[in-house]
């Protein structure tokens, strides 16, 4: 589903370059639940942003469902982003001026669904995440955990095939973190959604099926997960 071939990312610095990612080759199959781990500054968020089409590689190739992403037109790339990809941010990134209901509805407006289709899809998500009672509140009126539930509901609204999550529980307490990880695990197992998360937490990573480790922008050799 996802294939990176020799991807590097660098920024200009003085007369040279600072490499943030170096020669990354990575395959992720449909249905995997991958955790990206590594020390602060090792390039985890940059890698996730490239995978989620929020940033472009400096070198190398990215194939999303066999399509070379860099060769797609801007329009086609935006469409791919809106229809196939859900992104969950550590700091939620909800729209402050919109209610919970409207935040979740936003991706559906882009998708061109009818009013009644949007209504039933949002109702289903509110129900699934137990936030029906919060639907008319604004993000500032919610706890962090509730805001992240809205962030996940919004990411799922357009029924993406993959969710990218950048430290989704980084600002949450441990019991809230567990709830979010259980939601991800269920989405992955029951609905077959591919999940790629950046996390510092081994406990969160244990919910996944595979761990990918970065160090100084390099991908470390993977150790096969022991069978349980
Ligand atoms: N626009 C930029 N210009 C220059 N350097 C950048 C830019 N964006 C990121 N970097 C550098 O890239 C490196 C990797 O950043 P990244 O956010 O991917 O790391 P990370 O592993 O996610 O770190 P953390 O765990 O602290 O969030 C950092 O050293 C950062 O300073």
Q: Look at residue 90 and give its three-state secondary structure.
A: coil
- ipTM, two decimals: 0.93
Query: Terminal CA-to-CA distance of the chain, rounded, Å?
Result: 26
Percent of the chain past pLDDT 90, that is, above it, reads: 81
11 lines ligand 1 (CB under 6 A): yes
Candidates 49, 36, 67, 88; CA nearest to 214 is 36
Q: What digits encode the pLDDT tens for the residues 126-168?
A: 998 889 999 999 999 999 889 999 999 999 998 999 999 999 9
Residue spans of the domains in the chain: they are: 2-219
- CB of 161 within 8 A of CB of 1? yes
Q: At 222, list the tokens.
A: 């993977």
Q: Which of 40, 46, 196 has most ligand 1 atoms within 8 Å of its beta carbon, as the pocket-test mutant?
A: 46
Condensed to tens digits (0 to 9), the pLDDT of residues 50-92 reads 999 999 999 999 999 999 999 999 999 998 998 899 999 988 8
pLDDT tier for residue 227 given thresholds of 50, 70 and 90: low
Burial 1-24 (b: 16+ CB within 10 A, else e): bbbbeebbbbeeeeeeeebbbbeb
Instruction: Specify the pLDDT at position 173.
Output: 85
pTM, entire model: 0.91
CATH code of domain 2-219: 3.40.50.300
| Alpha-helix residue ranges (DSSP H) falling in 36-195 | 44-51, 74-84, 100-111, 115-128, 144-157, 174-191
Report the residue among 14, 41, 91, 216 best suited for mutation to probe ligand 1: largest number of ligand atoms under 8 A from its CB.
41
Task: Indicate which atom in ligand 1 lies nearest the CA of residue 47.
Answer: 18
């Amino acid at each position: 589903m996802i294939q990176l071939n020799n991807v590097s990312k660098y920024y200009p610095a003085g007369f040279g370059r600072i490499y943030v990612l170096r020669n990354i080759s990575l395959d992720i199959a449909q249905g995997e639940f991958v955790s990206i781990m590594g020390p602060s500054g090792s390039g985890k968020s940059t890698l996730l942003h490239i995978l989620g089409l929020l940033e472009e590689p400096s070198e190398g190739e990215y194939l999303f469902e066999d399509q070379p992403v860099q060769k797609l037109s801007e329009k086609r790339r935006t469409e791919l982003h809106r229809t196939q990809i859900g992104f969950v941010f550590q700091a939620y990134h909800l729209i402050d001026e919109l209610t919970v209901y409207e935040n979740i509805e936003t991706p559906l407006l882009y998708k061109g669904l009818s009013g009644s289709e949007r209504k039933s899809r949002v109702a289903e998500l509110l129900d699934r995440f137990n936030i029906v009672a919060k639907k008319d509140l604004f993000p500032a009126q919610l706890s962090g955990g509730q805001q992240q539930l809205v962030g996940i509901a919004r990411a799922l609204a357009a029924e993406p095939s993959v969710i990218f999550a950048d430290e989704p529980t980084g600002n949450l307490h441990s019991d809230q973190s567990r709830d979010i990880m259980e939601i991800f695990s269920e989405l992955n197992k029951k609905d077959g959604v591919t999940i790629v998360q950046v996390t510092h937490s081994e406990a969160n990573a244990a919910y996944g099926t595979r761990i990918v480790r970065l160090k100084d922008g390099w991908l470390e050799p993977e150790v096969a997960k022991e069978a349980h």
